[in-house]
Chain A
Amino acid sequence: MPSYKAPLENIHFVLHEVLDVAQVAALPGYEEATPDLIDQIIEEGAKVCEEVLFPLNQSGDAEGCLYENGVVRTPKGFKEAYRLFCEGGWPGLVADPQYGGMGMPHVVNCVLQELICSANMSFGMYPGLSEGAYRALYLHGSQEQKDLYLPKLTTGEWSGTMCLTEPHCGTDLGLIKTKALPNDDGSCNITGTKIFISAGEHDLADNIVHLVLAKLPDAPEGSRGISLFVVPKFLPRQEGGQVKPGARNGVSCGSIEHKMGIKASATCVMNFDNAQGWLVGEPHKGLKAMFTMMNAARLGVAMQGLGIAEVAMQNGLNYAKERLQMRALDGAKAPDKAADPIIVHPDVRRMLLTSKAFTEGARALSYWVGIELDRAHKHPDPAIRQEADDLVALMTPIIKAYQTDMGFEAASLAMQIHGGHGYIWDYGVEQYARDARIAMIYEGTNGIQALDLVGRKMGQSYGRLLRRFFHPVGAFIETHQNNLQMQEFIFPLAKAVAKLQQLTASVAMKGLKDSTEAGAASADYLRMFALVALGYMWAQMALVAQEKISAGAGGRVGFYDSKLKTARFYFARMLPETEAHFRKAMAGAESLMELEAANF
């Protein structure tokens, strides 16, 4: 049986000692979000995750969702857990107080998302999708639509979905076929089939609010002709000043998928048959509307990768301390036992430290981007808002792709540490690999993230977005390059940054002439960027650790020492991967493109 404890000390370290989360409370609108309140929220959220959501993770995987005659039943215990989750107010954590939300900053949401995904990624899908629907309506809905739906989504009484994918298109949404025919009363009749719709049908909420991409009759071809609609499962009706679910709308669940992981999350085929829907935002601007909310959604998926990596690592570590197998190469470490615990073996340490260095580095990276997202929304100075927004736009595809790739990798490493038991269901570790795998695919495949990075973000405003990253990193290197203690981190970081800049220039130049070149370099470029960004985080964490140790560490020498040693591992054994990615990305498109499909 796997176990999970929320990594509160590590979270605390990143929020308060590395990133200074107190700055968020200085933003207008976030005055309430003081460090002590943030800590209290996280601590209570951690309890709910450990005690309510985590115990349902393995049973939810075994049982899965059940489909019968258009009705979907979630696994045992999910209903009660969801009710408790809603009673606690958690669906409204970041929602606007105007609609009953708590109005907490996004960085707090990042933390909660991490905890929820460690505890039970399947469960997290339901509130996660509601948050997407909330955001779409909040940013683009009419006042009437907001008043109707947002309070219900905030309490969790109603849940939401995002209906984009169709059988013949997932990445290329310009090919969408679902149709919207306008009625005289301003509504539309929506007809078409959506597939892979998470939380499309279930028994947790009283109503389900579908956000659907469809085409109006006069729509231009392709992605410029897609509109966004809100299509409730039950048409809302007013009763005594209250909004209640009314008549059943023409949308139904045709079946659910049998899939590799997140089995407790219902993945539905949704049939729209003249379902009544209402346009959200302007006609034909649906995809554009989606883009404005994409950063937050992709950051959420990045947290799934991190969350799974954390819980997988915790279990790998526990096992490595208990499992006795073979003697350490330099002589027995536990002579009174039949063999040494496998944590003594270099190869097991390689696996543990890879997961640890990733998890802790990615936590700093994600929370940093979370804080920047808050600054992008709320900073009073428009220039700073723009800067923060640029950084978020740049980093989003990087952390979505890298953290989900590594979430799967960390789950696989935890399996490996468990030996044969890692492959067996009862130990609960193989579930992490199955659950983590989807995050690399949905919310824009990781290949598409790489394309977004080199195709859109890199060249945007003559490289302005890139500068939002390279400038602070450069300043950090300059400030600390003469700090003797920091040289073991600063030198390799500076070298990797220089290489990344060189690659950036090369990809940008080649890409201008031939986009295939940019596409061919994209995945390696993204990975190299992520490794450098993590290096920047680890250098900062090492600096804090050194300062704390010099100041006596207040009895926490072990904690800071572990940070320093993990930083060393990162710079010695993970950052060097940048060199291979550099060479692969520089190799050009030819070796990828010259083989004809017929001769593969």
Chain B
Amino acid sequence: MKVLVAVKRVIDAYVTVRVKADQSGVETANVKMSMNPFCEIAVEEAIRMKEAGKATEIVAVSAGPATCQETLRTALAMGADRAILIQTDAELQPLAVAKLLAAVIDKENPGLVLMGKQGIDGEHNQTGQMVAALKNWAQATFASKIEVGAGEATVTREIDGGLETLTIKLPAVVTTDLRLNEPRYASLPNIMQAKRKPLETLAPEALGVDITPRFKILKVTEPLKRQAGKKVANVDELIDKLKNEAKVI
């Protein structure tokens, strides 16, 4: 079974994100970028499937500017077999990415598509669902356990109330949650081999996909600063303030 893994390049989780002066977005120039942690988990899961003999080939796909090659190389260094970059400098919104991935899926015919449940930048939590809808495939989101069987997969999902286990027909789209696995460090031999693994570059037009943004970001601002708390003298005062000032009880 061929597994296709989507990986996104995002601002590194440890970077303090700053809003651009003109409020058009966040500052990304000269900021450390890394693979989206949820995508890392997806890559790791694919590699484990291959090690367990369930997957035969792992194809990593990313959409974005040329620098996404670095992120794909990281996926290759972890153990993916080859990579595809859909290269564009244009702004990409979830629907556009979903369509691009669907087009690549049509070319590649994978048995399973693994994706992060969301990017830690936009936190959209949409792309995987959209890919499944576009392909009319089964989907299982927020996976904390995946067992691949014959023609189907059993996925444990993290939902609000606890865990839910689904059995879905393959091919399908599965998006990963944090507890699915702990991604490995790339080994030196794999880092060096990654240089020689194939990385194909495609243009969105070549896939016949219209990536025009469908919504407009008006303004990006920083979250409000937290106000200093107040000390109260006793429980009565606390209740009074909750009732009359905060009006929450």
Residues of A near any B CB (own CB < 8 A)? 5, 8-9, 32, 36-37, 40-41, 44, 47-48, 52, 84, 87-90, 92-93, 102, 554-556, 559
Contact = CB atoms under 8 A, between A and B. Distances in A.
Contact of A554 (B29, B188, B192): B29
Interface string B177-207: 0000000011111011011000000000000
A559 B29 CA distance: 13
B191 A5 contact: no
B30 A32 contact: no
Contacts of A555: 29-30
B130 interface: no
Contacts of A41: 188, 191
B30 A554 contact: yes
Q: Which of B30, B70, B185, B195 has the most CB of A within 10 A?
A: B185
What are the 7 A-B residue pairs with the smallest beta carbon separation, nearest first?
Answer: A89-B188, A555-B29, A88-B187, A89-B187, A102-B188, A44-B186, A556-B30
9 contacts: A9-B32, A32-B195, A40-B70, A40-B74, A44-B77, A44-B188, A88-B185, A102-B188, A555-B29
Interface in B41-96: 70, 73-74, 77
Contact of A48 (B29, B70, B185): B185
Interface in B145-195: 185-189, 191-192, 194-195
B189 A102 contact: yes
Contacts of A40: 70, 73-74, 77, 191, 194
Given A47-B185, A84-B185, A93-B188, A37 B30 contact: no
Contacts of B73: 36, 40
Interface residues of B, number: 17
Contact of A87 (B70, B187, B191, B194): B187
Contacts, number: 47
B215 interface: no
- Interface of A, secondary structure class, is helix
A8 B192 CA distance: 20
A44 B191 contact: yes
Nearest to B27: A555
A298 to B, nearest CB: 25
Contacts of A87: 187
A48 B191 CA distance: 14
A560 B195 CA distance: 31
A555 B77 CA distance: 30
A40 B74 CA distance: 8
Nearest to B196: A32
Contacts of A32: 192, 195
Contacts of A556: 30
